[in-house]
Amino acid sequence: MSTHRSQRFATRAVHAGTAPPVDQVPASVPIYQTSTWRFDTSDDFAAVTSSERPGHVYGRGYGNPTVEALEAAVASLEETEAAYGFSSGMAAIHATVTTLAQAGDRIVASRAIYGGTYSLFASLLPRYGIEVSFVDINDEAQVASALPGARLLYVETIANPLITVADLDRLGQLARQAGAVAVVDNTFASPYLCAPARYGFDLVVHSATKYLGGHSDLVGGVVATSASWRRAVRATTLDVGGAMAPFEAWLCLRGLATLALRMERHCATAAALAELLAADSRVTATHYPGLAGDPGHEVASRQLRAGGGMLAFELEGGLEAGARFCDSLEVAWIGASLGGPHTLVAHPASTTHRQLDPEARRAAGLADGLIRVSAGLEDPDDLLADFSQALDKAT
């Protein structure tokens, strides 16, 4: 106290608010909203920076208690040794593949993947000498033929936009036989539905923006993996940036607490919508692995806890009918992303893929009347009524 009184006002204003030590466990993980940390000596600073002893240094990926709490939670849910947080799902994917692959390497990737990932693989990685072979992930012979000599295999548990389920058990076996590192994007499934590490996948990436966060109020990513791969991914991130911020980690921790409850509702509502759509003659196709007639149903029954919260369907009437359906909805929203409390629909032919001609869209598996749906947390009966009236107006 006497020292503080001897210091001038500006010095006391800066130093008097030092965080007090706390020896109790709080009910909610605190937000450690700090970019840097204090050390007693330069030797302490050096020891922590070089990972000779635990501690925190700087916010650009060196570690933050709030982020580390999220990482531990995701690792537990994904049944891996460790995890690492990122500023977005694409940051997680970029850091993962550039940690694993270098110039001269080749990646085998599913042709049906998120558009941002496809752009990274098709446009950016070749500029750095990394070759990418795209395959039909459900054609085992094609995958087996492409894997020899490849550095890694990259797939999605449930692919966008046709909700195709990958057989992770078989794909994991093929990757191991070829000596390739197995990487999977588990965003559409979430660890509630599937834990890909059980099937031999080495790294599991997520856009935490979606189901993990669950409230459409954060942008983040995470990779769950072994302790050794985490160290390697962390080293890449320290150089390129893209680490998760503490506030986003706190928001995601809040979301994880209700993940099981939310996923149960997402899945139940998606199943009800899929049954409604599959029974309607104006719908030419319904894509939902929870339906008995879906091509992915058998794999989903073995691999997923439930059918998931995502579905897609195709309307007769093509482009115009798809746009009219979306515009006629009163409960569900038109919007990007998925996994939040609101039911979201997207009509690729008139929005995200409008720049492609009809032939190019069909080649990508996108029918002109295709609608993608992220089932939200509204009352299912209200959504069923909303979809029914929108079908009437669209067709």
User: Hey, which residues are catalytic here?
Assistant: 60, 114, 185, 210
CA distance 209 to 88: 7
Listed residue (350, 395, 392, 340) closest to 373, CA to CA: 340
CA distance 191 to 259: 9
Which token pair is 356?
A: 């492609």
Q: Do strands 344-346 and 333-334 pair parallel, antiparallel, or not at all (unpaired)? A: parallel
Question: Hey, is 393 helix, strand or coil?
Answer: helix
Task: Please give the order of strands across the beta sheet that includes 131-135.
Answer: 82-86, 221-225, 203-207, 181-185, 152-156, 106-110, 131-135
Structure letter (DSSP) for residue 127: G
Listed residue (124, 172, 123, 132) closest to 151, CA to CA: 132
**Which phi and psi angles does 97 have, rounded to 5°?**
-70, -35
Q: Compute the chain's Rg from CA coordinates.
A: 23
Question: Hey, is 320 helix, strand or coil?
Answer: helix
CA distance 164 to 184: 14
Does a cis peptide bond (omega within 30 degrees of 0) precede residue 161?
A: yes
Structure letter (DSSP) for residue 199: G
User: H or E segment at 354?
Assistant: none
Which residues have C-beta within 8 Å of that of residue 358, sequence separation ≥ 6?
Answer: 368
CA distance 53 to 217: 35
CA distance 189 to 206: 10
Residue 168 contacts residue 197 (beta carbons within 8 Å): no
Structure letter (DSSP) for residue 128: G
**Which phi and psi angles does 156 have, rounded to 5°?**
-120, 140
Q: Other C-beta atoms within 10 Å of 159: how many?
A: 23
